[in-house]
Amino acid sequence: MAKTATTDAAARVAWAAALGALELSLDAAARTIAVSTMSGSTSAEGELASALTTWTPPVGLGALPADFAVRASDLLTNQQKIIIELEQARSVTLKHLTAVRLVPSKRDARASVYLDVAG
């Protein structure tokens, strides 16, 4: 029975560490998105790239302890919110890029630079 208690304790520690790491990554991504959105710039891209790493699922965790279920569910909910924010930011960026691409890159030097609004 002591072996099971030790195994359970080790599994709890491993799950706590795995969930903690995911929560920290999610918090870093949320902060970076917030800074980028508020400033309207892409200077946070480097920070976002460094905050986001390729995630590899931990191995050997076993079943999620029942008392971690709410924490894991909250993490999933917050990940889904970040996904929605990223999709919205992507959509806005695409609209801006489309608008920028509509601006002619060159103008004919012979063309008028004035606009006759009086008619």
Q: Is residue 43 included in any domain, yes or no?
A: yes
Structural domain of 78: 2-101
Q: Is residue 22 included in any domain, yes or no?
A: yes
Q: Is residue 67 included in any domain, yes or no?
A: yes
Tens digits of residue pLDDT in 37-96:
666 655 555 555 665 667 788 898 999 999 999 999 999 999 999 999 989 988 999 999
Residue 34 — pLDDT band, cuts 50, 70, 90? Answer: confident
Q: What are phi and psi of 108, to 5 degrees?
A: -70, 125
pTM as predicted:
0.68
DSSP E strands in the chain: the ranges are none
CB 98 within 8 A of CB 45: no
Q: Is residue 53 included in any domain, yes or no?
A: yes
pLDDT at 69 (0 to 100): 96
Q: Is residue 36 included in any domain, yes or no?
A: yes
Query: In terms of pLDDT, which residue wins out, 47 or 99?
Result: 99
Q: Is residue 119 included in any domain, yes or no?
A: no
Q: Is residue 58 included in any domain, yes or no?
A: yes
pLDDT at 1 (0 to 100): 46
Residues 6+ apart with CB under 8 A from 72: 19, 64
Q: Is residue 112 included in any domain, yes or no?
A: no
Number of domains in the chain: 1
What's the average model confidence in pLDDT over 108-114?
72
Cα atoms in the Cβ-side hemisphere of radius 13 Å centred on 100: 6
Exposed/middle/buried for residue 79 (C-beta within 10 Å: 0-12, 13-18, 19+): middle
